[in-house]
Chains A and B, each alone.
Chain A
Amino acid sequence: GQQVMQIPQYQHVQEGEDFTTYCNSSTTLSNIQWYKQRPGGHPVFLIQLVKSGEVKKQKRLTFQFGEAKKNSSLHITATQTTDVGTYFCAGRGGATNKLIFGTGTLLAVQP
């Protein structure tokens, strides 16, 4: 079945450093969404990418969708302590409408 992997599993950065998480799907995706889950919280939608090669920015966050629509990345510039949490990509592929969530990347930011 379809699998979505993310690397790294965990990253610890000093406040102000940059952070990137990578998402790779075993199959071509029709679109990809990114969610953030704070410790003890629920996933919160960040953004959706649909087009091959698409790049979207939200303040310090930059999201990319690969040309082959099988991978994606999230880059945070100059991390802040409020960025702490687990970042999940979630993709849809094939004829299904279900979202397959990635394994997540836990970001820890040291002040």
Chain B
Amino acid sequence: DTGVSQNPRHKITKRGQNVTFRCDPISEHNRLYWYRQTLGQGPEFLTYFQNEAQLEKSRLLSDRFSAERPKGSFSTLEIQRTEQGDSAMYLCASSVFRVGSNQPQHFGDGTRLSIL
């Protein structure tokens, strides 16, 4: 079990630029989640995938955010035209899906985004 891997660990960019983050889940996990966390707050749900299908997306997520999981393995989260308010830690988590039970989510170390 190599754990959930996220890269880059840190990203500093100027306002208006596009950024893309990558998440590699635990290999046998078919569910993958993206969260955003700001200082002193709990993780805020953004979206999740089951295999390659994006099943739910937060209404808080603007059109500038898009996520993909093309082959049902790794996922990317892209933010277009970044704004100051996008500065946060972006966390990825994965889990096994079993019908009738909710499994624990395993989190990566996150990508910290800073917008200048």
Binding site for B on A (CB under 8 A): 4, 30-31, 33, 41-45, 48, 88, 90, 92, 96-104
Contacts and interface: CB of A to CB of B under 8 A. Distances in A.
B43 A48 contact: no
Interface of B: 33, 35, 40-45, 48, 55-56, 58, 91, 93, 102, 104-110
Contacts of B91: 42-43
Among A98, A100, A103, A104, find the residue whose CB has the most chain B CB atoms closer than 10 A. Answer: A98
Contacts of B48: 97-98
Given A42-B110, A98-B48, A104 B41 contact: yes
Contacts of A88: 42-43
A100 B45 contact: yes
Given A97-B56, A98-B48, A98-B56, A43 B43 contact: yes
Nearest to B44: A101
Given A44-B107, A48-B102, A92-B102, A98 B45 contact: yes
Contact of A101 (B42, B58, B106): B42
